[in-house]
Amino acid sequence: MSSDTSQEIMANGLVREKFEYVDIGNLRFIGLDLKDYPELNVQQTVDKIAAMMAEIMSERSTVISEYCYLEHHNGGEVNVNQTGIGGYFFKAGTPVPEGLIYYDIPTVNIGYGIYRGGENFGGDLFDAYECTRDKILSDGVVIPYPEKYWTAAEFIGGEPRAGDYRFGYVFGVDKTQ
C-alpha cells in the first residue's frame, strides 16, 4: 500500500500530518451503541466501557489503537440503518463482552489520515471526513459504498475541541494495488 507522509494544510484550520493506505487484515470493532447513550461524551464513553473491556484489551489492533467512533450502513441503503458505536478495533473473532455490541469490519484495507487542528480549527471532525474521502477518491481508490461502507474517527487525546487537537480518520477501501 502507498503512503503520503507530507503535511498538507486542509480546510478550516485542519492540517493533515500523514495519509496512508494500510492492509489491516480482518478486524472486529467492539463498543457501546451510542444511540442508547446520547448524553455521553468521549471520556464518559471510555469510562463506561473500560471495565467491560478490561479482559480483551490485549487483543486490540495496533494500527488504530485509540478510542474511535464508528459508523456504517450495515450493508443497507445509503443513510439507512446507520449506527454509531463508540469503542475500539480488535482482532477478528475477539469475544464480545456482555453489554457491548460489535461490527465485523468488511474490508481489509483502509485509507487512514492523521490530522491536527490549529488555532483556527473549530473541532468539527466532519472536515477530516471530507478531506480523507476526497484524498481517497482523487487517488482513484474505491470506497465500497454502500455495501461495505464504514468510517471511524479516532480520538487521539480525547474530545474534539477548538485549538490544538490531534485525531485520525479512517475509511474502509477496496484493494488499491
pLDDT at 121: 77
Residue 67 — very low, low, confident or very high, per pLDDT cuts 50/70/90?
Answer: very high
pLDDT at 103: 95
Question: Which H or E run includes 71?
Answer: strand 68-72
Q: Which residues contact 71 (CB under 8 A, 6 or more apart)?
A: 82, 83, 84, 85, 150, 151, 152
CATH number, domain containing residue 12:
3.20.80.10
Model confidence pLDDT, tens digit, residues 73-96:
766 666 665 678 999 999 999 999
Dihedral, CA of residue 138, residue 18, residue 65 and residue 140, to nearest 10: 10
Domains held by the chain: number = 1
Domain span at residue 61 reads 3-173
pTM of the model: 0.90
Percent pLDDT > 90 in the chain is 62
**Phi-psi group of 57: left, alpha or beta (phi > 0 → left; psi -120 to 50 → alpha; rest → beta):** alpha
Bridge partners (DSSP) listed for residue 104? 28
